[in-house]
Structure 1
């Protein structure tokens, strides 16, 4: 029984690090430990936090608890609050693409480590739920990147992950070129909580997890489905958020 233990001992890890040294999550340069960034990539990341809009995480010059941006005052999202680890930029985009299309599932742990500083907003008894993919997209990609991040976050926070509570029942085209109304119309009816799972959602707080927040339309549609199923609160946590001048 001693041999298997040696496979994971300090000596074996040193050999593995020499053969496969840890790489920067952004550019791939060798770094001192896994899930780290080199100095150049680290310096390029813009970390997000307070002060910001409490509803959509848009940065503010000055803010406080409960302060909302103009867009959220005009049209409040269905989710109750949102936070993101970093602003969407070149390095944040490279990390997201490695997870989404590059077949690098370990990047989900890197994202989760930086997202975890916002977990203090999550109440006890909450469930961690990823934004779901349609089954055809999972079949093509092999996995749901949001589910990998959600699992890593749940493990770090010792919160129950539920990867099956929301289903994407309608395949939708890419939203990138669409305006706000077209996005809402496209996503209408795309998500639902199956009737047999609604008792799990009812009267619970939900932490919704995604990789990138662009317009919030997808998260809004998922939050709507969760609220209809009886969730009392839906918070949104992402790796990166697109920050536009209009958000300020």
Structure 2
């Protein structure tokens, strides 16, 4: 993997998430017995996430960071094509049920500085591959938040609460839809939960989530830049 080019050997060490994995959050399971008959991890059984089902293409580790962080911070937008292909593979069952793709939004100040929203690029790629329509500006962030990467799960939820809403005039596009929420990395799920709540309040029939990578349970504060 050099200068944005990818080959078969690049993926030999990739830790793809395949079955068995949790139906709700996409985290890998040691074996099917750990998820029980419903294939749901203990964490999601004790505290079910706001969304219905979740999938991730990769574990968020050193390998996947080499694709995701350059996309996110270094203008290597071509990486979105590679990631969206892998997300399509991992989330085929969710894409079959989805009627609308919606990316996690970026605050306008950060979007102005970065010039693109990596989640929107991923959603656009998925829409192109799967033919499921995407509403790239369906959600918006009402204010900037502190970087979430080094906050505890409780601090993240407090920081992000009530900051994401359905954009004015987009409610009719969302009502009655099976929405697939798209993002680059899933950590504690704080941001995804707020997005899900906003979509359901707007009348979405259901909300699932598909991401490029997810951290392991308990690893949220041990990896660089996992979630903004």
Q: How many residues align?
A: 216
Which residue of 173, 186, 189 corresponds with 1:200? 173
Residue 120 of structure 2 aligns to a residue whose secondary structure is helix
8 A contact 2:95–2:130 mirrored in 1: no
Q: For residues 182-212 of structure 1, what are the alpha-carbon distances to aligned partners after superposition, in whole Å with 9 as ceiling and x for unaligned?
A: 1111111110013532122112101111111
Unaligned runs of 5+ in 1: 1-23
8 A contact 2:25–2:53 mirrored in 1: yes
Gap change, CA 1:200 and 1:66, over 3 Å in 2: farther
- Give the corresponding residue for 1:213: 186
8 A contact 1:52–1:64 mirrored in 2: no
- Give the corresponding residue for 1:6: none
8 A contact 1:165–1:194 mirrored in 2: yes
Q: For residues 93-152 of structure 1, what are the alpha-carbon distances to aligned partners after superposition, in whole Å with 9 as ceiling and x for unaligned?
A: 010111111111111101011111122323456101110000000011110000001001
Taking the TM superposition and a 5 Å limit, the aligned residue runs for 1:1-248 are 24=1, 27-28=2-3, 36-39=6-9, 41-60=10-29, 61-62=31-32, 63=35, 66-117=38-89, 118-124=91-97, 126-244=99-217
Gap change, CA 1:147 and 1:65, over 3 Å in 2: farther
Spell out structure 1 runs of 4+ moving beyond 4 A.
none
Unaligned runs of 5+ in 2: 221-228
Gap change, CA 1:245 and 1:169, over 3 Å in 2: closer
Larger Rg: 1
TM-score (norm. length: structure 1): 0.81
Gap change, CA 1:245 and 1:44, over 3 Å in 2: farther
Note the aligned Cα RMSD (angstroms): 2.0
Out of 114-123 and 198-207, give the one that drifted further.
Answer: 114-123
TM-score (norm. length: structure 2): 0.88
